[in-house]
A and B are shown apart, each in its own frame.
Chain A
Amino acid sequence: MPDYGQFQSAGGTLDTRWFLLVASILFVLGAIGVLVRRNPIVILVCIELMLNAVNLTLIAFSRQLNNLEGQLFALMTMVVAASEAVVGLAVLVDIFHFRDVEDVDELNELRG
């Protein structure tokens, strides 16, 4: 049975903390992008970024804990992310059919 516990590389094994660091940087970047950007497509891209950050943590922990479930869950997240991208882009395309949206805040017809 192959050993998934350690990342094999020339210089030795990489500690899980590094993966978590990268993941959190990606997540924060995504979150900031969602909060400050206005272009709806960019916002969608940022959401994908956050999802992938989460995937990274799942896989990192999966490796550390020697447990396949994390990887399986990452696969599932990718499927969900793909569907979400399809739906989100379809909605956007539909909106662009009848109006040019440069700023998501223009889509505020349901505000109180």
Chain B
Amino acid sequence: MGTLQAVTLAILLLPAAGATVLGMGAFRLPRRAVQLIGPGVVWLAFLCVLVLFADSLSQAKAHDFTYWTWVQSGSFQVPANLYVDRLTVFMGLVITGVGGLIVTYAVGYMEHETDGSYARFFCYMDLFILSMLLLVLAGNLVFLIIGWAAVGLSSYLLIGFYYWRYSAVVAARKAFVMNVIGDVGLILAAFAIFASFRQVTYSGVFASVPHSDGFALELIGFLLLVGGIAKSAQVPLHTWLPDAMEGPTPVSALIHAATMVTAGVYLIARMHPIYDVAVFSHYTAAGIGALSALLAGCIAMVQTDIKRVLAYSTMSQIGYMFLAVGIGAYGAGLFHLLAHAFFKALLFMSAGSVIHAMHDEQDMRKFGGLWRDMRVTSVCFLIGSLSLVGVFPFVGFFSKELVLGDAFSDPNGGGFPQVLWVIGFLTALLTGFYTGRMWWIAFWRPPSPERPVEHPHEAPRVMMVPVVILTVLTCVGGLLQINAGFHPGWKLVEEFLAPAVGPLGWEARGIEYLVTAATFLLGLFTFWLAYYFYIQPRFSVWSARVPRLQQLLEHKFYFDEVYDALFVRPLDRAARGGDRWLEQPVLEGTPEEVGVVATSSAAALSLTENGYFRAYMLVFLGGALAGAALLLAYRVFA
């Protein structure tokens, strides 16, 4: 086994070991050990990924490490292999790098938990990192499915971390069910791939894509997309993400902003040889992304829970990523993924610091005055917000402009990418508005009379340092890829990823300057406009004037209600019917009857056990005599 091969395996084994140790020793390990092991294994995995990164910088070739043959059954053969190309390395850096910062932050955030819960939390976090790394390192579809499902499981465990809270348990269950819908899509896609190619390894599948028929590829593309939209919370399988905010805030930052929800984007980028041919499913991905971006942006404008605003903005930003990878601009989509991991983790973690200081209050209308009391956190949050809006020079500006610019200048698709660009542009304006609303209300406004804490304290250093590091990354991350703003600037991210996902198929055009300026300035304008809506009431609150629209948005376009009426309640009723007509009379009744027969016959038989020794002996002798008599009779008469 070569060094690189061993290092790749170590990336998986380190978090696995961490999760195992923490899980087995939850109540015995001292807190200090938990604080070391939990984030420690993630950072060690990060070092291993850095080794792979150094290797991938020196050469662009992909590695396909086969460790052993896992399944061998007729023509179905699954090697235990890990696939390492630049896309894997890129995702691995995001997962372990940003993940390491977030797990470190959690050391401070979770400090009020009991020892058992504390260790349990880090056990789950390491389990999540392991699953996510397996998802991106997988070299065949079976490993991909295992990683994919394990990610859903650890997300379920972490959303339901406060298992004594009813709402958390319900939210965890909802997330799990929605994710399983996606898992089924992915598994069916794997079946379809095996049926058409007789292969399950990436290298084998992609080699046979060019000689296969279009319909099968479209089918595979759509099935993969079902998996992708469920995991990435895109319309119409998005309803679990806002509820998932029941989990602890570091979980929201790690899973529901930086890594897990981007798995769908990764999937499309990884399967790009299929999507490059399957045009319909490819553009469907882009359309769903744009639609999700717009809908989530609308809903975010009326939310009052600070984490829910962030959740909807996450959904909206992932919509941008889907838009980009859906039109074939993989570099742009993945760069936005990286940028989003920086600034959304930053936003969630500074929001977490605020929630921590506010004794778990999440309603931002009850905050206010944080600019005065928590200056550092406020500055970090402002930088994250501006990056989310897409303001120069933060990383969000470069990535969002790249996505929108690529959509604007895409010559293929007969104008469809330009329609998507319009939607993306409108969403950018909404983003400015709801982000501004959140910032002005929660941080700038004078303290609310309902504020739970008179003198909030800044977070401890272990929480502050990761936040500051992410702030710095948000400020300088744009330097990786400046060609969106300064055409033709360097484009390190796109060039790094090009060997894995292919270069952009068209030349970006010059008119983008104007478009870039318009998007960025109008986004900033709506951010500033929110000030006049919520702080200086120069305009009355817009939503009061259109109560119908407000109602529609507050009910999140009635997705939950429709799903309730279509699936939840009919199934509930069917379950009740089954309980009444099948479970109680048949399944429960039958064993009960058997029991009744057994006890009543036992009661009758127990009369013979009367406790008189001579009675037993009489029966015994009688039996022996009868036996002897039978034997004699047989001898005499037969």
Residue numbers of A with Cβ under 8 A of B are 31, 34-36, 43, 104-105, 107-108, 110-112
CA distance A104 to B612 in the complex (A): 8
| Nearest CB in chain A: distance from B616 CB, A | 10
CB-contacts of B580-623 with A (<8 A): 605-614, 617-618, 621
B614 x A35 contact (CB < 8 A): yes
Contacts of B610 in A (CB 8 A): 108, 111-112
Question: In the complex, which residues 612-636 of chain B have their Cβ closer than 8 Å to any Cβ of chain A?
Answer: 612-614, 617-618, 621
A36 to B612, CA, bound (A): 11
Query: Do most interface residues of chain A lie in helix, strand or loop, or is the interface mixed?
Result: helix
- CA–CA, A61 to B606, complex, Å? 42
Q: Is the CB of A34 within 8 A of B612?
A: no
Query: In whole angstroms, how far apart are the Cα atoms of A18 and B543 in the complex?
Result: 120
12 contacts between A and B (CB under 8 A): A34-B621, A43-B613, A104-B613, A105-B611, A105-B614, A108-B611, A108-B612, A110-B609, A110-B611, A111-B609, A111-B610, A112-B605
Least Cβ–Cβ distance between B550 and chain A, in angstroms: 76
A112 in contact with B608 (CB, 8 Å): yes
Q: Which residue of A lies closest to B624 (CB)?
A: A31
By the criterion CB–CB under 8 Å, are B613 and A111 in contact? no
Q: A111-B609, A112-B605 are in contact. List 12 more A-B contacts (CB 8 A).
A: A31-B621, A34-B614, A34-B617, A34-B621, A35-B617, A36-B614, A104-B613, A105-B613, A105-B614, A110-B609, A112-B606, A112-B610
When distances are taken between beta carbons in the complex, the residues of chain B under 8 Å from A107 are 613
Q: Which residue of A lies closest to B607 (CB)?
A: A112
A101 to B: closest C-beta gap in Å: 11
Main secondary structure of the interface of B (DSSP, over half): helix
For the complex, give the distance between the alpha carbons of A112 and B618 in Å: 18
Which of B's residues lie within 8 Å of A, judged by CB? 605-614, 617-618, 621
How many angstroms from the CA of A107 to the CA of B606 in the assembled complex? 17
CB distance from B613 to the nearest CB of A (A): 4
Give the residue name and chain of the A residue nearest to B625 (CB). Answer: A31
Chain A residues contacting B618 (CB-CB under 8 Å) are 35
For A111, the chain B residues whose CB sits under 8 A away are 609-611
Interface centre among A31, A43, A107, A110 (most CB of B within 10 A): A31
Give the shortest distance, in Å, between A77 (CB) and chain B (any CB): 15
**Measured between C-beta atoms, what is the minimum distance from A85 to chain B in Å?**
17
| Chain B residues within 8 Å of A104, by CB | 613
Task: Please name the 7 residue pairs, one residue from A and one from B, whose CB atoms are nearest each other, closest first.
Answer: A112-B606, A108-B611, A111-B611, A112-B609, A104-B613, A35-B614, A111-B609
Docked pose: A111 CA to B606 CA in angstroms: 8
Contacting pair B621 A105 (CB below 8 A)? no
Q: Which chain A residues lie closer than 8 Å to B612 at the CB level?
A: 105, 108
- Most central of A31, A104, A111, A112 by chain B CB within 10 Å: A112
Please, which residues of chain B bring their CB within 8 A of the CB of A34? 614, 617, 621
CB contacts (< 8 Å) of A31 on chain B: these are 621
Q: Which A residues touch B608, using CB under 8 A?
A: 112
User: Shortest beta-carbon distance, A64 to chain B, in Å?
Assistant: 17
Residue in B closest to A43 when the chains form the complex, CB atoms = B613
Q: Which A residues are CB-close (under 8 A) to B614?
A: 34-36, 105
Minimum CB–CB distance for A88 against chain B, Å: 13
A35 touches B621 (CB 8 A): yes
Q: Which residues of B sit under 8 angstroms from A108, Cβ to Cβ?
A: 610-612
Report the nearest A residue to B604, measured CB to CB: A112
In the bound complex, CA of A32 to CA of B147 (Å): 79
Question: Which chain A residue has the least Cβ–Cβ distance from B612?
Answer: A105
CB-CB under 8 A from A36, the residues of chain B are: 614
Question: B606: which A residues are within 8 A, CB to CB?
Answer: 112
Question: Roughly how many angstroms separate A31 CA and B612 CA in the complex, as a whole number?
Answer: 16
Within the complex, the shortest CB–CB distance from B85 to chain A, in Å, comes to: 75
A112 / chain B contacts, CB cutoff of 8 Å? 605-610
In the bound assembly, the distance between CA atoms of A105 and B617 in angstroms comes to 12
Bound Cα distance A51, B605 (Å):
31
Q: Which residue of A lies closest to B610 (CB)?
A: A111
CB distance from A30 to the nearest CB of B (A): 10
**Nearest-CB distance from A43 to chain B (Å)?**
7
Q: How far is the CA of A31 from the CA of B619 in the complex (A)?
A: 12
CB proximity of B610 to chain A, nearest CB, Å: 6
B603 to chain A, nearest CB (A): 8
A91 → B minimal CB distance (Å): 13
Tell me how far the C-beta of B431 lies from the nearest C-beta in chain A, rounded to whole angstroms.
80
Please report the C-alpha to C-alpha distance between residue A25 and residue B214 in the assembled complex, in whole angstroms.
101
Report the bound CA distance from A31 to B628 in whole Å.
Answer: 15
Rounded to whole angstroms, the CA-CA distance of A79 and B496 in the bound complex is 92
- Complex: how many Å from CA A34 to CA B617? 7
Bound-state Cα–Cα, A36 to B609, Å: 18
Please give, as numbers and ranges, the residues of chain B lying within 8 Å of A35 by CB-CB distance. Answer: 614, 617-618, 621
Q: How far is the CA of A110 from the CA of B611 in the complex (A)?
A: 7
| Chain A residues within 8 Å of B605, by CB | 112
Query: Measured between C-beta atoms, what is the minimum distance from B432 to chain A in Å?
Result: 85
Bound Cα distance A100, B24 (Å): 55
CA distance A36 to B607 in the complex (A): 21
Chain B residue nearest in CB terms to A110: B609
Once bound together, how far apart are the Cα atoms of A31 and B621, in whole Å? 8
B609, closest chain A residue (CB):
A112
Task: Please report the C-alpha to C-alpha distance between residue A104 and residue B617 in the assembled complex, in whole angstroms.
Answer: 12
Q: How far is the CA of A68 from the CA of B605 in the complex (A)?
A: 45
* Closest partner residue, chain B, to A104 (CB atom): B613
Q: How far is the CA of A108 from the CA of B617 in the complex (A)?
A: 14
Nearest CB of chain A from residue B635's CB, rounded to whole Å:
15
Alpha-carbon gap, A108 to B610, bound state (A) = 8
CB B113 to nearest CB in A, in angstroms, measures 53
| Chain A residues with CB below 8 A from B609, complex form | 110-112
Bound CA–CA A107/B613 (angstroms): 9
Residues of B within 8 A of A110 (CB): 609, 611
Chain B residue nearest to A47 (CB atoms) is B617
- In the assembly, what is the distance between CA of A111 and CA of B339, in Å? 80
Give Cα A111 to B613, complex, Å: 10
**Nearest CB in chain A: distance from B76 CB, A:** 60
Q: Which residues of A contact B611 (CB under 8 A)?
A: 105, 108, 110-111
Per the bound structure, the CA–CA distance linking A105 and B621 in Å amounts to 18
CA distance A111 to B611 in the complex (A): 5
Q: How far is the CB of B632 from chain A (nearest CB, A)?
A: 14
CA distance A59 to B581 in the complex (A): 72
Chain B proximity of A48: nearest CB distance (Å): 15
Nearest Cβ on chain B to A102's Cβ, whole angstroms: 13
Complex CA–CA separation, A96 to B613 (angstroms): 18
Bound state CA distance, A112 and B607, in angstroms?
A: 6
With the chains together, A2 CA to B581 CA distance in Å? 85
A100 to nearest B CB, angstroms? 17
